[in-house]
Structures are given as C-alpha cells and as structure tokens.
Structure 1
Amino acid sequence: MGKSTTPSFVTELPLVVNSRSEKELLSRFQAGRQLYNALLSEAMTRMNLVRNSQAYQEAKKIPKTETKKRQKAFQEARIAYRYSDYDLQAYATVVSNQSRWIGSKVDSNTQQKLATRAFKASEKVMFGQAKRVRFKVSSRLRSLEGKTNKQGIRWSNNQFVWGKLKLKAIINPLNLVTQHGLNAPIKLVRILWRELNGKRRWYVQLVCEGKPFIKPKNTVSDGLIGLDLNLHNLAFVGDEQAGLLPFAEGVPDLSREIRRLQRRMERSRRANNPDNYYPSFKARKGRKQILKKGKAKKGKRQWRISQIYGLSARQKRELERKRTAYARTQNRRLVNEVLRHGKHIKTEKVSLKGWQKRFGKAIGAKSPSFVQSELKRKAENANGSFIAFSTQTTALSQTHLTGERIKKSLSERIHDDVTGVIMQRDLFSAYLSRFVEDNKLSCADAQFEYPRSESILKGAWESFDLQMAKRVGASESPQLVVTSTPAEPFPLKLGKISQIAIPKGFGRQANSHS
C-alpha cells in the first residue's frame, strides 16, 4: 500500500544573507554537489548491472498480461544488485562518513534526499524517459531540501535554520498569500539561489500542507470550457463567455538585444581563442565572393574568457530571465481568466514537442505548453477535469456543422461553414470541442446549440480584432518598463529592503574614516 498523499503548495520568501553566511551556504552546496555526483555515479553503475543481468533479461520475456509475476521478477533483479532508493540512501551515509567534510556540511536528512534525487534520475534512464543523466557542475546545483521540518533544513520562529546557520526572511505582513503559507503546516523546507542582475539571491521555499490561497478575483466556476491552442493564442468558449486571448501579452521580445549580446560574445571568444577555430575561407554567394569565418573545432575544452565576454553573458542571462518571468506572469493571468468561466476543460491533444521542433523561437517566447500544464493542474486541484481528445478522430479545424470535412491551410484563419456560418477558425474549433465525447464529435448537438452561442462567439471575435488593431497601431517598446519581477516580491509599502545583511556600525566606521 502506497503512502497517503495530501495536497501541497509552496510559499517562497527571500532571505537576508551576509557575506559570511553566503560563504557557508556555498560550501554546503559544494559538499552537496559532490555527494550528489558520487551517488549518481553509483546509481548508474547499479542500474547498468541490473539491466545487463540475466534475471532482468528473463523478466522482460514474461508477458505483460502476467503483471504480478513480471513485477516480482523485476524486483528480484533489483534486489540482487541493491538498486533501490533505500540502498542508495545507505550508500550516501557511507560516503559522507568516509568524507568527514561532507558529513560536517550536509546533514543526514539532506543526504537521503540527494540519494532519492539521484535514484530517480537513474530510473528515468532505465524506463526510457531520458537518454542520459547530468552530473552537476558548481553552478548547476541550485537547491537543497530536507525530509521534514523537524531536523536538518527547517523553518523555525519565522527564520530559516540549518544547523548553526540561521537566516532571517523578508516577510510582508500585508501579503495574504504569504500569511496563508506561514499559518499552514509545513512538510519540508527547500533553500535555493537565483542570479538576478548578475548577483546571487537566496530564497527559502516552504512546502506547506493544504491548498494555496485563492484570491477572490481568481475564483473557479463550475462550467464547461471548450479550448483550442495554437502557437500564439488560446481560444476558449464557455457557457456564457468566449474569448481569444494571446499568450504572453505585452511581454517585450528582447530578441534583438539578445542577438546583439551573442554577437559580442562570439567576437570576444574568437579574438581570445584563435586556435580553437578553423581558418576563414572564401565562399560564393550569387555573383559575389564573401569571407566566411571558420567554425569552432570540436573537442576543444581550453577556452579563454575575457571580462567583456563574462559581462555580456550576464546581461544576456538577465534579459532571458526577465522575459521568461514576465511571460509566465502573463500566462498565469490567462489561465486564471479561463478558469473563471469553468473548470471542466476539453481540448485537442496536440503535439507540443512537434511544435517545438518546427517553431522553436515562437514556442520559447509564448510557452503554450506551460499554459496547458497550468490549466490541467489548477482545474484538477479545483475538483475539475481536463480531457484531451484525439485530433485524428475529430479534426475540428476541418469539420463543418454538417459533419463534412474540408481541408484548409494554416494560413486560412476564417472558417466558412457550408451552412453559411462564418467564424474565426480557433473560436469555432473551441466551440466544437465542447461537444466531443469519447473522441467523437456530435455535430447534431453542435448545430442545434450554435444559434445560442453565436452572439458570444462574435463578441469574442470583435474584441480580438480591436486588440490586434491597437497592437499594430501602438509600437511596443523593446525595453522593460517594470523593474521588479515575480521573483522579487518586494512591496512598496515596506520601503527599501535589501537581501544583503550589513553588520551594525559598518556605516558609522565608513563615515568616520571619510
């Protein structure tokens, strides 16, 4: 019998960290990184032994219909080579005891969580969900967590505690979301760091028991929603409301600035590493001869990095972080807008990975997969449903109200139905998805209900055209106007708050010497 699970949510708070505390945190993260790499190497070794064993090969031959016998055979193959989460946790204790430095920096609970993390990574390779594992470099391990809130990494008296290390958090007493998380029972605590404006900032995440705080404006109604996703927009049709909403609305692209920084980085790297590139050559482009620069040589690991390259790389990471943060904020607002009109969602099962291969930049900027996953998660948490039906049996973009299918290209955004109905293509597909049951479209019901829904569909189409006209008329600024991000929830009423702790008397001493 599996463990009983209870709903959870995360409350994140920024920490106030001075230079001494940050040095101690970095040393503990370095110890955790080395332990994780050792555990991951051992997990992959044991996994390969299990996969190449005779018992495992015999277990694969057992028919899948004999479920219990097949599971027992696989389990015996794992036990023979001690490939389990529990055995890897025992190995973590052995490694930490042999290395006193790791044992002094990382507590036993955190060691066990790192072992579980490494074991799950190796299992993904074993089950074919991943091709390989990734060992952590110093900048890749960005979070550590405990098992409970009783010992090790924990939250006590409104501060972060890890052994002798105690850090204060920035708490806004007026924030209802934060207060709801602080008053809920805490399952475990996680510490992580992010890079903001080229500087490291530390945060604590409290994994709380219960359901998250829902703002009054984000209430979820009990209704049916037909959904249609494309690269740039989301069309939904509810019982009394419809809409065609763009992904990441108002978020600047910043692609021009990022490309400029990439060119600067490449020029700097070529100037400092001329031996790592093939020589330039002349090539013909039409009637002209142009000089093409040679590509980087494969296998070269010695690279000289200048200060200009490091500065440009930090600026590029910051632009990408801001763009991602603002896009996620806008997409979360879009998800809340859809759920206000219904929590029972029906949509086509589209291949988002196929979209990523064909339209990589558009998918990265708009994140339709993030919207889909958030809709599913929030709808199911609200006791709703998220049904994804097959596109092959329905073909909503080609189907008319009479049931006839007529193919049309992706560039045709207007659906001209054989019954005389003219509607925006995505809105019409979202409307038809409301009448799909068991991967089959009921065209009779859709045709019967259409006169009642035609007014809300036309209203959504008109409002979308007005938004597009405003967007084309007003040029979007490539620079970000807002300076705070969702990762920096500092309220204006609290005044200026810094995450860097300054010892008392530091300013007075500086003033006395000046």
Structure 2
Amino acid sequence: MARSKTPSFVTEISLKVDSKQEKELSSRFQAARQLYNACLNEALVRMNLVKNSELYQQAKKLRGGDKKKRQDLFNKARETHRLSDYALKTFATQTANRSKWISSNLGAHEKQTIGTRAFKAVDRILFGQAKKVRFKVTTRFKSVEGQSNATGIRFINNQVLWKKLILNPIIDWNNPVIVHGLNSPIKYCRILWRNLNGKKRWFIQLINEGLPYQKPQNYVIKGIVGLDVNIAAVAFVADKKAGLLPFAEKVPTFEREIKALQRKMQRSQRMHNPDNFEPDFDKKVGNRIVRKKGKVKKGKKQWIKTKNYRRIQVRKAELERRKASYAKSQNRKLVNEILRHGNQIKTERVSIKGWQKIYGKAISAKSPGYFQSELKRKAENAGGYFLTFSTQTTALSQTHLDGTRIKKKLSERVHRDVTGIQPMHRDLFSAFLSRCVYNNKLSLWDAQCEYPGTEPFLLDGWQQSQSANRVAERESRNSYSSSEQMSNEALTSNQISQKDYKLEGNA
C-alpha cells in the first residue's frame, strides 16, 4: 500500500506502560529486531550479487552521454537479483510466516515496513550515500511502525491498539500542539522507546497529514536573510533587522561531571580487566618521573562490565542527553528568530565536519550543523529556500565594497573598509554581502546601493550584541563572586564550629 505524498508532521505522546505491557512490547520489539536483521542480511547478499553482475559492470563503464541506457542497465541488474522494495517486503513476510513466534508478535504491515527499512539501508550503500549498515542489537532497535491507521498499530479513541495490546497515552489537553495533532488525520503510527535517566520510556508518534501547529510568536515572513555562520554564533542581516546571535546560549556542558564519571569508568575497567591493558610505565616529564597508565592492548578482547560500571555509564549518558537536548531546544529558538525576518536564506557553504576536527567539544556543545539543517527544513516548509554558495568564489570576509580583497586573521573581528565607511563587525558585514550573492557571484553594485540604507541597523545589531556580552560577563562575574563568598562563609562557619568544639572540650 503506497503512502500518500501529502505534507506530514509528527505528534509525539508519552505512554503509560505497566510492567506486563512493557514485557509484551519488549517481546514484540525483539521479534521485529530479528526480522530486520534477517532482511538486512538478505538485502546485503542481493546487493553484492547486483554489484558483481555483468549488467552492473557494463553500466559503470558507460560514463557521460548515454544516461538512459546506463540507468536501464542498473535497473535490469536490480530486477534480475530482486533488489527492490517490493521484493524485500515479500521476503520479510515469508520469513516471518515461517517463524510462529515472529508471526504471532507482528502484523502484516509491521513486517512489510521492516522489509522497506532494510531495503533503504542497503540502497544508501548502492548509491554511495553510506559506507556500511549495522545489524541491530537490542539496545539500538528503538522503533516499530505500521503503514496505515486502519490495521496493525492504530490510534483510535485516544488509545493505542496493537493486536490485543491496549496502551493509554498521557495527553496534555492544555498543549495546543498535542491537540492540533489529535484533531488532524493520522496516516500511520510509530511506537518507540528512549532511555531517560536510566529508565525505558515508551512513546507513540502519530504521523499526521497536513501542516504542524504554528505558535503565534513563531510567524514567518517573506524576505531575504543573509547569514554568516561560525562555531559559536550566527550573524544575520534581513531587510530591516540585523543581529549576532549565539548558538545554544548558556548550554550546560557538564564537563567536570562527565570527566569525573569517565575517570571512574576507567578505574573500574582497569581493575576488572587487567589483561586488556599494557603494563604501567615511568616517563620523565621535565625534571620529574611520572607514572603513566598502560594503553589498551590491540586486538579483539572480552570486557567485564560490572554493575557499578553500568550504573556510571547510565549517569554519563543521561548528562550527554541533557546537554544535546538543551542545545537542540536553544537552536530551534534561534531558527524561529531568524525566520521571523525572512524565509529566503543565503549563506556560505561551510564544512561543519572540518570544524569538528579542529574544535571538537565546542562544535558538539553548540551544534551549528543541526541549526543549519533545521533552518533549511523550516524555510523550505514555509515556501522559502536555503541557498548555499562557494566561499572560494565570493570570499566575503576578505571583500571590501569596492571589490578589494584583503585577508584577515581569525582574531580580527572588525572590518575596516578601504572605502572609508564606519568600522563594522566582520561577521555582520559578511552576512550583509551574502544577501547580494547571485549564482555564486557577489554583485558589488547591489552591495554598494544597499549599504547606506542597511548601515544603521547593522550598527544597532553590533551594539546590541556588545551590550548582551557585557551583561553576560557581569552575570558570570557575579555568580563566581557569590559562589566564592558562599564557600568562604562555609569555611568560616566550619572554623567557628571547630573552635566551639575545642572550647567545649577544654571546659
């Protein structure tokens, strides 16, 4: 049954699950996982047969002109070895029906969607979009979905029905987002679980037909917005507004807590797996000799993970989840703020992966890649576009209004134009120039015409960012001084109590 191509959105609701229901759900997810791995293995076998076939090799040699003949050969190779969505659906159904346990746990629609899921995973390798696939272990298989709301996993009368299993959702009727999803037509449903603070929580996702609920404050207008993205902030220039906005402001990194937990995990591993590590050694550091821990031995090995180790692992994973969740929430607010000024986005094509290699922790805490993907999705859904252009052909950070290019160091954050205009923040000026890029080329004439009218709110945006930075510095200074004062007071009270104790002892 082919799914319709109408617009869709997801409404997620948590489920109230008791121990008996959780046991049943876990059993069904285990059956789905085993079926998925079987389908994935079969898809890999068929993919290798396709790659080794003569038709596929002939198609690879046809470069350039005859695209239709090349595509026909590829399609014929896939048909010959039955590598298609329909064929994998059939295989999933036949495999499940041969197992009485899998067939009793899964419906016809769930079996077919598992076959489609395995086909899509392998298809990405065939088209060069992925290098490998993963066979799922229990902790990595987290969702099962149907094909329609008519049978299989259904949401009817505010209840989740899956065969004989009935689950009650926890519905917040005061939440307009949830109410909008419940009142919209449902295409199909998906059940999934997540680990929250070490506990398994179950959710139902309703894939609704139509457009998602739009909060009144998150309106979108038509207009061009130029962006300049760096690792910590984004500069934007719209038709009547400009600003410098930080990514994931005040994100809790939990760096000290995570490092402490990592040290505990390392000590536990070294204590219970001494044969997996090389012996400790002495190393001269400056004028002293330091005892260094041995590295992990090469090769495959068995690891003993104690209950305490797994408990610490859960605590660390929870801190990482909270950090990522906060960063996503803040970046969504940032996306909504930019779309309030325009839905036609222009920005340089930057390599987030390259930044990750240089600024690993900063990128993981701020998530500029997620910001860009979310902005692209929302801008296109609002009828706009997300246009990226080459940094080599435009070189916006080096370009002046008369076309002169002068390289700057990364530490130089102020742009002083050779034409004599007022100094401007480097990122704001680059964001302004990006508004005037067409077909990967900067139109200097448009930039020169627009700049006099744009300069006032560019300066205003720079001034607002400076005042915001001063407020943030003042708050951090005050919080540090207050914490220091509290520690001093605690120390003083401790000294007084010790003095009183001594006096009482003498008395």
Which residue in 1 is equivalent to 2:115?
A: 115
Q: Percent identity?
A: 57
Aligned residues of 2:3 and 2:147 also touching (Cα < 8 A): no
Aligned residues of 1:223 and 1:341 also touching (Cα < 8 A): yes
Q: CA deviation at 1:299?
A: 3.1
Per-residue CA deviation, residues 321-380 of structure 1 (Å, 9 max, x unaligned), is: 111111111110000000001111111111122112222211111011111111111111
Question: For 1:93-492, what aligned pairs fall within 5 Å after superposition?
Answer: 93-421=93-421, 422-475=423-476
CA distance in 2 between counterparts of 1:253 and 1:431 reads 32
Tell me which protein shows more helix as a share of its residues. 2
Which residue in 1 is equivalent to 2:34?
A: 34
Long gaps (5+) in structure 2: 481-507
Q: CA deviation at 1:3?
A: 7.6
Q: Please give the secondary structure, in 2, of the residue aligned with 1:216.
A: coil
Give, as a single letter, the amino acid of the residue that structure 2 aligns with 1:456. Answer: F
CA distance in 2 between counterparts of 1:176 and 1:124 reads 37
CA distance in 1 between counterparts of 2:465 and 2:257 reads 29
**Higher mean displacement: 21-30 or 51-60:** 51-60
CA distance in 1 between counterparts of 2:324 and 2:25 reads 27
Give, as a single letter, the amino acid of the residue that structure 2 aligns with 1:108. Answer: A
CA distance in 2 between counterparts of 1:251 and 1:335 reads 16
Aligned residues of 1:276 and 1:300 also touching (Cα < 8 A): no
CA distance in 1 between counterparts of 2:222 and 2:78 reads 46
CA distance in 2 between counterparts of 1:112 and 1:255 reads 44
- C-alpha distance 160-4 of structure 1, shift in aligned 2 (>3 A): closer
Aligned residues of 1:232 and 1:366 also touching (Cα < 8 A): yes
Which residue in 2 is equivalent to 1:493?
A: none
Which residue in 2 is equivalent to 1:509?
A: none
- For the pair shown, which has the larger CA radius of gyration, 1 or 2? 2
Q: CA deviation at 1:94?
A: 1.7
CA distance in 2 between counterparts of 1:45 and 1:125 reads 13
Moved over 6 A (4+): none
Aligned residues of 1:64 and 1:70 also touching (Cα < 8 A): no
Which residue in 2 is equivalent to 1:78?
A: 78
- C-alpha distance 301-154 of structure 1, shift in aligned 2 (>3 A): farther
TM-score for the superposition, normalised by structure 1 = 0.91
CA distance in 1 between counterparts of 2:458 and 2:299 reads 57
Aligned residues of 1:12 and 1:204 also touching (Cα < 8 A): yes
Aligned residues of 2:247 and 2:330 also touching (Cα < 8 A): yes
CA distance in 2 between counterparts of 1:75 and 1:64 reads 18
Per-residue CA deviation, residues 446-476 of structure 1 (Å, 9 max, x unaligned), is: 1222121111111111111111112222229
Q: Please give the secondary structure, in 2, of the residue aligned with 1:397.
A: coil
Give, as a single letter, the amino acid of the residue that structure 1 aligns with 2:376. Answer: K
TM-score for the superposition, normalised by structure 2 = 0.92
Per-residue CA deviation, residues 397-443 of structure 1 (Å, 9 max, x unaligned), is: 00001110000111111111112231111111001111111111111
Give, as a single letter, the amino acid of the residue that structure 2 aligns with 1:9. Answer: F
Give, as a single letter, the amino acid of the residue that structure 2 aligns with 1:426. Answer: D
Aligned residues of 1:402 and 1:444 also touching (Cα < 8 A): no
Which residue in 2 is equivalent to 1:483?
A: none
Q: CA deviation at 1:159?
A: 1.1
Q: Please give the secondary structure, in 2, of the residue aligned with 1:410.
A: coil
Aligned residues of 1:218 and 1:336 also touching (Cα < 8 A): yes
Per-residue CA deviation, residues 381-400 of structure 1 (Å, 9 max, x unaligned), is: 11111111111111000000
Give, as a single letter, the amino acid of the residue that structure 2 aligns with 1:87. Answer: A
CA distance in 2 between counterparts of 1:300 and 1:390 reads 44
Give, as a single letter, the amino acid of the residue that structure 2 aligns with 1:446. Answer: A
Which residue in 1 is equivalent to 2:20?
A: 20
Taking CA–CA contacts closer than 8 Å with sequence separation of 6 or more, which of the two structures ends up with the larger relative contact order? 1
Q: CA deviation at 1:64?
A: 3.7
Q: CA deviation at 1:207?
A: 0.5
Give, as a single letter, the amino acid of the residue that structure 2 aligns with 1:293. Answer: K
CA distance in 1 between counterparts of 2:12 and 2:301 reads 38
